[in-house]
Amino acid sequence: MAQQITTQSVIELDDAWGAHNYHPLPVVIAEAEGAWVTDVEGRRYLDFLSGYSALNFGHRHPALIAAAHEQLDRLTLTSRAFHNDRFGAFCRDLAALTGTEMVLTMNTGAEAVESAIKVARKWAYEVKGVAFDSAEIIVATNNFHGRTTTIVSFSDDPAAHDNYGPFTPGFITVPYGDAQAVRDAMGPNTAAVLMEPIQGEAGVVVPPEGFWSDVRQACDENNVLLVADEIQSGLARTGKLFALDHENVRADLYTLGKALGGGIIPVSAVVGRRDVLGVLKPGQHGSTFGGYPVAAAVGHAVVDLLSTGEFQERATELGHHLHKRLGELIGQGVAEVRGRGLWAGVDIDPAAKTGREVSMALRDQGVLCKETHERTLRMAPPLVITADEIDHAVDALAAALDA
Ligand SMILES: *Cc1c(COP(=O)(O)O)cnc(C)c1O
The DSSP code sequence of 275-332 is HHHTT--TTSS--SSTT-HHHHHHHHHHHHHHHT-HHHHHHHHHHHHHHHHHHTTBTT
118 catalytic per annotation: no
Angle formed by the axes of helices 293-307 and 310-327, nearest 10° = 70
Q: Is the CB of 230 under 6 A from ligand 1?
A: no
Structural domain includes residue 377: yes
Sequence-ordered list of residues with C-beta below 8 angstroms from that of 291, at least 6 positions apart, any chain: 80, 87, 90, 91, 105, 106, 269, 299
Ligand 1 mean position to 231 CA, how many Å? 6
Q: Is the CB of 261 under 6 A from ligand 1?
A: no
Domain count, the chain: 2
Strand partners, 268: 106
Supply the pLDDT for residue 110: 98
Do 111 and 42 fall into the same domain? no
Structural domain includes residue 69: no
Do 249 and 285 fall into the same domain? yes
Question: In this structure, are residues 337 and 355 in contact, taking their beta carbons and an 8 Å threshold?
Answer: no
Q: Is the CB of 113 under 6 A from ligand 1?
A: yes
Nearest Cα neighbor of 185 from 213, 219, 209 is 219
Burial class (CB in 10 A: 0-12, 13-18, 19+), 370: buried
Q: Is the CB of 232 under 6 A from ligand 1?
A: yes
Closest residue by CA, ligand 1 atom 15 = 232
Q: Of 307, 323, 352, which residue is a domain's last?
A: 307
- Helix (H) or strand (E) holding 17, with range, is helix 7-17
**Against a cut of 0.95, is the pTM above it?**
yes
Q: Give the strands of the sheet with 268-272, arranged side by side.
A: 102-106, 268-272, 253-256, 225-229, 190-195, 136-140, 171-174
Q: Is the CB of 200 under 6 A from ligand 1?
A: yes
Do 270 and 122 fall into the same domain? yes
353 catalytic per annotation: no
Q: Is the CB of 199 under 6 A from ligand 1?
A: no
Do 302 and 367 fall into the same domain? no
Do 79 and 46 fall into the same domain? no
Q: Kindly report the CATH number assigned to the domain that includes residue 24.
A: 3.90.1150.10
If one residue of 55, 142, 143, 145 were mutated to test the ligand 1 pocket, choosing by the most ligand atoms within 8 A of its CB, it would be: 145
Do 247 and 301 fall into the same domain? yes
Do 232 and 137 fall into the same domain? yes
Structural domain includes residue 298: yes
- Helix (H) or strand (E) holding 211, with range, is helix 211-222
What distance in Å separates the CA atoms of residue 296 and residue 302, rounded to the nearest whole number? 10
Q: How far is CA 167 from the centre of its chain?
A: 24
Q: Three-state SS for 240?
A: coil
- Structure letter (DSSP) for residue 207: P
Ligand 1 mean position to 146 CA, how many Å? 5
CA distances from 182 to 138, 224, 279 (A): 7, 11, 25
Structural domain includes residue 292: yes
Do 247 and 361 fall into the same domain? no
Q: Three-state SS for 203?
A: coil
Domain enclosing residue 81, as ranges:
75-307
Ligand 1 mean position to 139 CA, how many Å? 15
Report the atom number in ligand 1 closest to the C-alpha of 233. 13
Closest residue by CA, ligand 1 atom 10 = 145
Sequence-ordered list of residues with C-beta below 8 angstroms from that of 21, at least 6 positions apart, any chain: none
Structural domain includes residue 1: no
144 catalytic per annotation: yes
Supply the pLDDT for residue 265: 98
Nearest Cα neighbor of 238 from 309, 323, 319, 305 is 319
Supply the pLDDT for residue 3: 66
Catalytic residue among 39, 47, 214, 229: 229
What distance in Å separates the CA atoms of residue 366 and residue 300, rounded to the nearest whole number? 33
Ligand 1 mean position to 56 CA, how many Å? 14
Structural domain includes residue 65: no
Q: Three-state SS for 227?
A: strand
Q: Is the CB of 257 under 6 A from ligand 1?
A: yes
Q: Of 291, 307, 323, which residue is a domain's last?
A: 307
Q: Is the CB of 231 under 6 A from ligand 1?
A: yes
Report the atom number in ligand 1 closest to the C-alpha of 200. 15
Question: In this structure, are residues 160 and 149 in contact, taking their beta carbons and an 8 Å threshold?
Answer: no
- Structure letter (DSSP) for residue 243: G
Q: Three-state SS for 138?
A: strand
What distance in Å separates the CA atoms of residue 55 and residue 272, rounded to the nearest whole number? 24
Question: In this structure, are residues 151 and 145 in contact, taking their beta carbons and an 8 Å threshold?
Answer: yes
Closest residue by CA, ligand 1 atom 11 = 145
Q: Kindly report the CATH number assigned to the domain that includes residue 126.
A: 3.40.640.10
The 10 Å Cβ neighbour count of residue 159 is 8
Report the atom number in ligand 1 closest to the C-alpha of 232. 15
Ligand 1 mean position to 64 CA, how many Å? 21
pLDDT tens for the chain, 403 residues long, are 456 899 999 999 999 999 999 999 999 999 999 999 999 999 999 999 999 999 999 999 999 999 999 999 999 999 999 999 999 999 999 999 999 999 999 999 999 999 999 999 999 999 999 999 999 999 999 999 999 999 999 999 999 999 999 999 999 999 999 999 999 999 999 999 999 999 999 999 999 999 999 999 999 999 999 999 999 999 999 999 999 999 999 999 999 999 999 999 999 999 999 999 999 999 999 999 999 999 999 999 999 999 999 999 999 999 999 999 999 999 999 999 999 999 999 999 988 899 999 999 999 999 999 998 889 999 999 999 999 999 999 999 999 999 8
Do 317 and 290 fall into the same domain? no
Of the CA atoms within 13 Å of residue 53, those in its CB half-sphere come to: 26
Ligand 1 mean position to 111 CA, how many Å? 9
Q: Of 267, 291, 307, which residue is a domain's last?
A: 307
Catalytic residue among 90, 122, 154, 258: 258
If one residue of 142, 258, 287, 372 were mutated to test the ligand 1 pocket, choosing by the most ligand atoms within 8 A of its CB, it would be: 258
